[in-house]
Chain A
Amino acid sequence: METTIEHNCEQVVNNNHTMTPTIYRVEKNRRDTHDTFTLHLSPEDQPLETVYEPGQFNMLYAFGVGEVPISISGDTTEWPKLVHTIRAVGSVTNALQSLATGDSIGVRGPYGKPWPVEATKGKDIILVAGGIGLAPLRPAIYQILHNRESYGKVILLYGSRRPLDILFRKELEKWRSRLDMFVDVTVDSSDRNWNGNVGVVPRLIDTANFDPIDTAAFVCGPEVMMRFTAMALNKRGVSSDNIYVSLERNMKCGVGLCGHCQMSNQFICKDGPVYTYSQVRETVLIREI
């Protein structure tokens, strides 16, 4: 075990000082919903050396408060600029929420396995997001739409708690108006002022039009939602090998050293966060070990 850690440490040190944050400056802090905001960041000096891929995350450091893993929610073509969409839930995310234009922030990354956007070319793509889960999926949506002709049907199904919690509302409307993409949104509950769907997001899968045999599904949201969504996709005939989910666990190092994110024999930070549903169905999503 010790040798593995030593070996990992060596790798990390050799890998461009992965543990040292790079300083980024806040260009804009835009409020998305009552508890969610988006940070637009640009490098103060040298940018992160690696171009990121959809589904990867960075460790964001609010100086003097702490560090948290946050997925990249922007367009990969805009590198070295970074966009992160964050829900304020605790000490670090609240500190990030209070950042203003010109403030500094530490960034390490990008880390983790991405959504298989390239490998799924040629298939119908169904993206299913719940709540803040739309943020980690957004870079995949951008990349798919940049190469729209390489995919079959593209379907985005999004569920949130109430209408006022809907993330990226304007963008959802823009995507919905495209002729080459199907977008449907549902909320868990609402008053009469909402004219859209009310019900859970897996219900939308029953009536979506795609070819189950040749479909890849990218699913991101709370784990219960991902499980029910995967079951609904299985029922429609999509194999668990073609369903990709993104897992979240508490993280510290982000590079497979500390064991904070370990589930079974997996370090979510480096072996994930994106897995096929067949990889995690038994060990991670259902029976927590």
Chain B
Amino acid sequence: MQQTLEPYLAEHPFLKGMNSHHVELITGCAENRRYNPGEFLYREGDEATHFYFIRHGRLAQEILRPQKGGIVIQTSGPGDVLGWAWLFPPHFRNLDCRAVELTRVLALDGVCLREKCEQDHELGYEIMKRFAHLMEQELESMRLRLLDIYGNND
């Protein structure tokens, strides 16, 4: 199983430039998962144990509004990496995540990877750099949406 996952991870843009030993360490924490439409990967308040490389389909991150249902904050699709709550204490989810359609992911066990990062700080730094970039991109998107650019005020 691990052998089939390693080439995928080694070629993934998120891990570009990472040495093969580190990719091997990461692969050791990975498993294939499949989610049916409507199935939740996690809900707000859950312990954040995993993050995901999306291979197929679409995942929606949502916030539940009492009596109004979920509002979709962002969707992610093939090639995207999702979830960083596993990195930061207290490791709890602050959003729901739902499969909008049939979705295949590589689920990375964050607890397992955190331990490896503690033991190998170089790996930890490589991981942090990549998640910092991911967070920067998300922040940029959020800023743009905050402007409500399609509203009447532009």
Contact = CB atoms under 8 A, between A and B. Distances in A.
Interface of A: 89, 130-131, 159-161, 165, 186, 188-192, 194-200, 202-203, 206-207, 221-225, 228
A224 B141 CA distance: 12
| Most chain A beta-carbon contacts within 10 A, residue among B69, B80, B141 | B141
A191 B148 contact: no
B144 interface: yes
A202 B143 CA distance: 13
Contacts of B75: 186, 196-199
28 contacts: A130-B150, A131-B149, A161-B148, A161-B151, A188-B145, A189-B71, A189-B72, A189-B145, A190-B71, A191-B69, A191-B71, A192-B60, A194-B72, A195-B100, A196-B75, A197-B58, A197-B75, A198-B74, A199-B74, A200-B141, A200-B144, A202-B144, A206-B79, A207-B78, A224-B147, A224-B154, A225-B149, A228-B144
A198 B144 contact: no
B3 interface: no
A59 B78 CA distance: 44
B70 interface: yes
B101 interface: yes
B149 A192 contact: no
A207 B154 contact: no
A207 B149 contact: no
B150 A198 contact: no
Contacts of A194: 72
B152 interface: yes
A41 to B, nearest CB: 25
A199 B130 CA distance: 20
Interface in B101-154: 101, 140-141, 144-145, 147-152, 154
Contacts of A199: 74-75, 141
Nearest to A90: B152
10 tightest A-B CB contacts, nearest first: A131-B150, A161-B150, A222-B149, A222-B154, A198-B72, A198-B75, A200-B144, A190-B72, A200-B141, A199-B74
A188 B60 contact: no
A245 to B, nearest CB: 14
Contacts of A221: 149-150
B28 interface: no
Interface in B81-101: 98, 100-101
Contacts of A188: 145, 148, 150
B152 A165 contact: no
Nearest to A223: B154
Contacts of A222: 149-150, 154
B73 interface: yes
B103 to A, nearest CB: 12
| Most chain A beta-carbon contacts within 10 A, residue among B75, B79, B100, B150 | B150
